[in-house]
Amino acid sequence: MIVGLLFVVLLLFGMPIGFAIGIVAFVGLYQTGGASFAAQAPGKMFNGLNIFPFLAMPFFILAGEIMNHIGITSRLVKLAQSIVGHLRGGLAHTNMLASVFFAGLSGAATADAAAFGRTLVPEMVREGYRRDYACAVTAAGSIIGPTIPPSGLMVVYGSLMGVSVGGLFAAGIIPGILICATCMAVIWFGAKRNNLPVAGKRASFIEVVAAARHSLTALLMPAIILGGILGGLFTPTEAASIAVGYALFLGFFIYRNLSVHDLITMLIRTGRITGVIFVIIAFAAVLGWWISFNRFPQALAELVVSVATEPWMVLTLIIIILLAIGMIMDITAILIILAPILVPLTSEIGIQPIHAGIIFVTALNISLMTPPVGACLFVLSSVTGERIERIAAKLWPFLLAEVSLLFVLAFWPKLVMFLPNALGFR
């Protein structure tokens, strides 16, 4: 009880989530077994980070930083606009489709939100879109980034639960495309209500081909990453380093708009982002150990089973837990703490670990755009100057649609497992 209250108080006072987790973990250990028990925390922190696939995360982050800097984002936007720009609300549809293309480069929702918040949102406002609606479209599409591989959250889940990261990457492709299609449907049906600009001129086939050729070097990157991993040519960690090498090659020798000074700046930024993530992972490992020592997972499992007597009820309750906690807590910390508790429950009701991973990742990604602590909302607010509550007010149709899709993915395992099964991931 004391640990839980302390955690809430620290969050209310604005302490960063990683340090809040660390403090309550040390307090919990000291309360349980005194100073000698708390002294084991550094070793648990090291063990929590000493997982080889975690090396992929900073490489994927750096690759996304480089690709964004050298102008890949604008090329992908032009390609998306040539394909769907003729529809009513064409820039909104472009925003969504560009998120699919950009997902294969960054794998991070906040990177997607920041990139399009600086580029597409101002363009949408100039074309007659309300700024809060433009931000809502960007937030809804941003979660495509960590759903379509590469995905840092999938790397964390696969490393923690001993599940094939390649299998998770394969399983994330269809859900990511479906999120895009679902959000484009929301844009289509709400076009008149939101007074979206009328359709523009349809691009000719030659113009689409020209835009595709202009973006070919960018589109090759996800093809190299996924093709190599799914084809067994290299591991996700090796794929991440290859992605960085490819991005550097484009920046220094093809586009020639990347300098050593730019690279140093991006390395520093990557180090900061990675440091924040790894602090959370390290302290969450300590908290997770304390939670396991006190048999809280077993108590939660027994509570879920006692409340939900049918498999579909168990799965529904797990999704509700993830969505609810995701509204108030960092999703990486949630995954590290709750996955070892809840994934065994999904196994008991016949859900494969890869399928469970997609359910967890999708639910937590949706949490990135839900107030009060949705990271993408804060990024868009800081980048565009729009108020968070105004963005959230325009976001609810997309949120309802994506939550509905989450339940479809959860209760239709063949849809999620089609590609992993076809590629031999069991």
- Tens digit of pLDDT for each residue in 320-379? 888 888 876 777 778 887 888 888 888 888 899 999 999 999 999 998 888 766 777 877
In this predicted structure, the answer to whether residue 77 has a pLDDT above a threshold of 70 is yes
pLDDT (tens digit, 9 = 90+) per residue, 289-321?
A: 777 777 666 676 677 767 767 888 889 988 988
| Domain membership flag for residue 350 | yes
Handedness of CA 79, 84, 86, 90 (dihedral sign): negative
CA angle 367, 373, 377 (to 5 degrees): 80
* Radius of gyration of the CA atoms of the chain, in A: 21
Q: What percent of the chain has pLDDT over 90?
A: 15
Mean pLDDT to the nearest integer, 114-136: 84
Number of domains the chain is built from:
1
pLDDT band at 176 (very low <50, low <70, confident <90, very high): very high
Domain interval for residue 217: 36-422
CA angle 270, 114, 235 (to 5 degrees): 45
Handedness of CA 58, 143, 276, 323 (dihedral sign): negative
The Cα–Cα gap between 291 and 183 comes to 38
Predicted local distance difference test score (pLDDT) of residue 187? 92
| Domain membership flag for residue 395 | yes
| Domain membership flag for residue 44 | yes
Predicted local distance difference test score (pLDDT) of residue 12? 73
> By the 8 A CB rule, do 315 and 410 touch?
yes
> By the 8 A CB rule, do 150 and 165 touch?
no
| Domain membership flag for residue 375 | yes
pLDDT band at 382 (very low <50, low <70, confident <90, very high): confident
Q: Which of 77, 261, 220, 60 is nearest to 149 (CA)?
A: 60
The Cα–Cα gap between 368 and 376 comes to 6
Predicted local distance difference test score (pLDDT) of residue 403? 95
Mean pLDDT to the nearest integer, 250-275: 86
Between residues 392 and 16, which one has the greater pLDDT? 392
pLDDT (tens digit, 9 = 90+) per residue, 215-242?
A: 787 777 777 777 777 677 777 778 778 8
The Cα–Cα gap between 107 and 147 comes to 7
Long-range contacts of range 322-325, CB-CB < 8 Å, 24 or more positions apart?
Answer: 322/360, 322/363, 322/364, 322/367, 323/363, 323/366, 323/367, 323/370, 323/403, 325/367
Mean pLDDT to the nearest integer, 265-273: 85
| Domain membership flag for residue 275 | yes
| Domain membership flag for residue 204 | yes
| Domain membership flag for residue 25 | no
Long-range contacts of range 317-323, CB-CB < 8 Å, 24 or more positions apart?
Answer: 318/342, 318/345, 318/346, 318/359, 319/359, 319/363, 319/406, 319/407, 319/410, 322/360, 322/363, 322/364, 322/367, 323/363, 323/366, 323/367, 323/370, 323/403
Detail the DSSP E strand segments found in 256-415. Answer: none
Mean pLDDT to the nearest integer, 63-74: 77
> By the 8 A CB rule, do 227 and 239 touch?
no
- Among the listed ranges 52-56, 81-85, 138-142, which one has the minimum average pLDDT value? 52-56
Predicted local distance difference test score (pLDDT) of residue 52? 65
In this predicted structure, the answer to whether residue 140 has a pLDDT above a threshold of 80 is yes
The per-residue pLDDT of the chain, averaged, comes to 82
Between residues 273 and 357, which one has the greater pLDDT? 357
Q: Which of 281, 375, 243, 248 is nearest to 48 (CA)?
A: 281
pLDDT band at 107 (very low <50, low <70, confident <90, very high): low
| Domain membership flag for residue 138 | yes
